[in-house]
Structure 1
Amino acid sequence: MTHSYFATVAKGLEEIAATELETFGAQDIQTVFTGVHFTGDQELLYRVNLWSRIIFRVLVPIAEIQCQNSDQLSKNIQNIDWRDYLTPEQTLAVHCTGTNYNLNHTHYTALGIKNAIIDQQREQTGQRSSVDINEPDLQINAHIENDRCLLSLDSSGGSLHRRGYHRAMGVAPLKETLAAALLDLAQWTPDLPFLDPCCGSGTLPIEATLKSLDIAPGLYRSKFGFQKWHDFNPELWKKLLNEANQRQKFSLDAPIFGSDADRTVLEEARSNAAFCQIEEYIQFSRKQIADLEAPSDRGVILCNPPYGKRLGNNQELALLYKQLGDVFKQRFKGWTAYILTGNKELGKQVGLRTSRRIAVYNGSLPCTLLKYELY
């Protein structure tokens, strides 16, 4: 049976997510702001949660109701038979986005939806579900737009960017989903050597290794929201897990390097890689930018150096960016380099001509991915 789904993504990554969904077999793909609509069967829903490297959550719409005010919202919530989705023994949580004139506080709107659901349960059974905001059995997403409320179930049960390996984090780590998207934007493929000379806690090299070894990022998660649903198919899920385990490779097509001048964050990077059981595949080393040497005659450099918003000061960072440009130019002929920065002035200090400038958001911060062809 075909269902409609909605994938939430970071701002600016909608098209990359749509391309990824297409590779999974999704149909009727349509991008909107910070999201992608698509259709597919239950197997596709499970597969996207298990394999997506870009998406935050996969929502399953169940109803669209009128909500001009709180009374109408509550009445229409109770017109839905929640026994189809929830038993009083199960916990729930409601997350709300969007507002209208009368429903202008998302927290209170979510509270009203929760109350309407448990009031129905009390009338039907004399019992009610408890609220668990951290690990609910059923996560309900309500999106208000004008006088309509779209109700969806969160099949992911927590953002998919949380792979689980960030037990040890640097001061300003990239989200795993953004790191995976940057690899796509940099057009890196596993047959090319990869280097991150400012690797911090290792997110970019780890994501590159997971991609190169064809490891499903969802294998590191202990649970998904859909596993508590009434229609959960354990045999189908077991089949997909077995398929993912069988696909995993045990050798790289090209080497992956991560270096940093900070001994502490390198230990964090090694710890994160060890959690994924891929530490043997990444060549981590403590190295100053001035000591970098090209490990091969071609490859891709991708790095996220500090850009003054959370780390360092601009004078020191200007020297770092200049040094990156000098070392790239002198020692990495034949490579392609990418620098993600949220500071235009620092980007100018690289001193190399960009062949492309790609707008990217790191959270809410507008950034630019600078591309350099090194001849």
Structure 2
Amino acid sequence: MINCFATVARGLEELAAQELEQLGAAGVEPGFCGVSFRCDRTRLYIINLWARLPFRILVTISHVPCRDGEALYHGIHGIDWDRYLSPGHTLAVKATGKNQRLNHSHFTALQVKNAIVDQQQDRHGERSDVDTEYPDVQINVHIKDNKATVSLDSSGNSLHRRGYRPAMGTAPLKESLAAALVQLTGWSGEVAFLDPMCGSGTLPIEATLQALNIAPGLFRDATSQGFGFQTWPDYDKNLWQKLVAEAKKRQKAELGVPVVGCDRDLDILSDARTNADFSGVAEHIEFNYTDFADIEAPADSGILICNPPYGERLGQSENLAPFYKLMGDILKQRFKGWTAYILSGNKALTKCIGLRTARKIPIYNGSIPCQFLKYEMY
């Protein structure tokens, strides 16, 4: 069994812990911006292939003392790096955290890199090159007090970058956050789904991928991007190909309920259709050119998720209060039998909706503290 740490967005730790348990991880413990767990190599591959919420899956290889730069260097130099990379591999080091004497991440990363390549030079007479863009082996070092946790990044690029989204509008939701919002609603493809302000389509696409049981890692496998573990010395290609084949067999062919995304911007709607096409779910999603004021329910019941502007990231200067009141009026008049969810980072604006919330879930959209508000429409 190997010790791992999944990095996740702040506020999603508990939800990510549930997902990891469902994927077969052992000893799952949510922490701050991450979840620690244990698994074997097969499960590590499965989690990278199937997990929708984490950014990265880090595999812990050692804990070393790091009272200062010299102690860190000796601790890193004492690890047998031949187990993890050869001089023919490129490497990159990312450092996080700090203590009193190691408070500059660039210096910390440099000490780690020097210790590794000095060991290689001593043993082999040659050393790994640094490649900060696409390294064969990404090493993560996290400083806390006088201890450094040394990990290998098994994911490579962040898992939220699925690989299906070539077209993005302004301030799009991360795919992992969109997946989390869908999971928080409990939607599983049994009732209609509507995003009345869908932008580049991330919410309806992530909802459809979940409902059709399509593993998010399949998009990356189909590109040259790959995963971090695929360049490790112990990479089991046959095992990976078997897991990918099994994942493809588990996909569902049909939904049976409408999934609809609407927007009043034709260009951004074109982006949404492009992204749905890249993700292979275009035939399951109906994208409509519709202003919010003209929205109609596509079924008698369903789940509506809306990520309206709240005057933060897009820099709106206009008064959004009338629009929030309009949202409340339309939900009340046209969506009886539905459950609506609104993501908002502006509490004053949400009061203008004028509806009683059934639940308020604190969540972060990047660095913006938000609330995911649930409304039962009777």
> Does TM, normalized by the shorter one, top 0.5?
yes
In structure 2, the residue matched to 1:87 is 86
Q: SS where residue 98 of structure 2 aligns?
A: coil
Kept in 1: contact 2:72–2:112 (CA 8 A) = yes
Matched AA of 1:293: E
What CA deviation, in whole Å up to 9, does each residue of 1:271-330 have, x standing for no partner? 111111211110000101111111111000001111101226354422221111111100
Code of the residue aligned with 1:38 in structure 2: it is F
- The one-letter amino acid of 1:68's match is R
| Aligned counterpart, 2:190 | 191
Distance between the aligned counterparts of 2:243 and 2:161, measured in 1? 20
Deviates more, 1:143-152 or 1:115-124: 115-124
Aligned to 2:324: 321
- The residue number in structure 2 matching 1:121 is 120
The match for 1:203 is 202
Among 332, 335, 353, the alignment partner of 1:332 is 335
Report the counterpart of residue 78 of structure 1 in structure 2. Answer: 77
Q: Structure 2 residue aligned with 1:348, among 348, 351, 360? A: 351
Shift, 1:63, TM fit: 0.5
Q: 1:45-64 to 2 correspondence within 5 Å? A: 45-64=44-63
| Matched residue, 2:248 | 245
Query: Which of 252, 270, 273 is equivalent to 1:270?
Result: 273
2:260 to 243, 254, 257: 257
Match of 1:284 among 284, 287, 291: 287
- Is the 1:306–1:312 Cα contact (8 Å) retained in structure 2? no
Is the contact made by 2:49 and 2:217 (CA closer than 8 Å) also made in structure 1?
yes
Find the counterpart in structure 2 of residue 306 from structure 1.
309
Q: Distance in 2 between matches of 1:194 and 1:326?
A: 20
Does the 8 Å contact 1:314/1:346 carry over to 2?
Answer: no
Residue 142 (1) aligns with residue 141 (2) = yes
Q: Is the 8 A contact 1:324 1:350 kept in 2?
A: yes
RMSD: 1.0
After TM superposition, which residue ranges in structure 1, 4 or more long, deviate above 6 angstroms? none
Residue correspondences, number = 374
Shift of 1:186: 1.6
Structure 1 stretch displaced more, 203-212 or 305-314: 305-314
Q: Render the CA deviation track for 1:318-351: whole Å, top value 9, x for unaligned.
A: 2221111111100000000000010111111111
Measure, in 1, the Cα distance between the counterparts of 2:324 and 2:315: 12
User: C-alpha distance in 2, partners of 1:125/1:3?
Assistant: 28
Distance in 1, matches of 2:100 and 2:256, equals 56
Give the drift of 1:128.
1.0
The corresponding residue for 1:69 is 68
For residues 310 and 125 of structure 2, what CA distance do their matches in structure 1 show?
A: 57
Query: What amino acid sits opposite 1:35 in the alignment?
Result: G
Q: How much has 1:248 moved relative to structure 2?
A: 1.2
Question: Does the aligned pair in 2 maintain the 1:307–1:314 contact within 8 Å?
Answer: no
Q: Write the mapping of 1:166-181 to structure 2, written as runs, cut at 5 A.
A: 166-181=165-180
Offset from partner CA, 1:131-190 (integer Å, 9 cap, x none): 111110000000000110010000001110000122110101000000000011122221
Secondary structure at 1:94 match in 2 = strand
In the alignment, is the contact (CA less than 8 A) between 1:212 and 1:253 conserved in 2?
A: no
Contact kept? 1:5, 1:61, Cα under 8 Å: yes
Distance 2:32 2:9 in 1: 9
Residue 104 of structure 1 corresponds to 103
The answer for unaligned runs of 5 or more in structure 2 is none
Question: TM-score under structure 2 normalisation?
Answer: 0.97
Q: Which residue of 2 aligns with 1:22?
A: 21
> In terms of mean alpha carbon deviation, does 143-152 or 341-350 score higher?
341-350
Q: Structure 1 stretches of 5 or more lacking a match?
A: none
Q: What SS class does the counterpart of residue 74 from structure 1 fall into?
A: helix
- Structure 2 SS opposite 1:189: coil
Which residue is equivalent to 2:153?
154
Tell which deviates more after alignment, 237-246 or 309-318: 309-318
SS in 2 for 1:110: helix
C-alpha contact 2:258 2:298 (8 A) present in aligned 1:
no
Decide whether the 8 Å contact of 1:337 with 1:371 is kept in 2.
yes
Task: Supply the distance in 2 between the matched residues of 1:226 and 1:262 (Cα, whole angstroms).
Answer: 40
Q: Structure 1 length normalisation: TM-score?
A: 0.98
Kept in 1: contact 2:48–2:217 (CA 8 A): yes
- Secondary structure in 2 matching 1:133: coil
SS in 2 for 1:93: strand
Please state how far the C-alpha of 1:124 moved relative to its aligned partner.
Answer: 1.2
Q: Distance in 2 between matches of 1:224 and 1:321?
A: 42
Residue 364 (structure 1) aligns with = 367
Distance 1:337 1:256 in 2: 14
Cα distance in 2 for residues equivalent to 1:253 and 1:133: 45
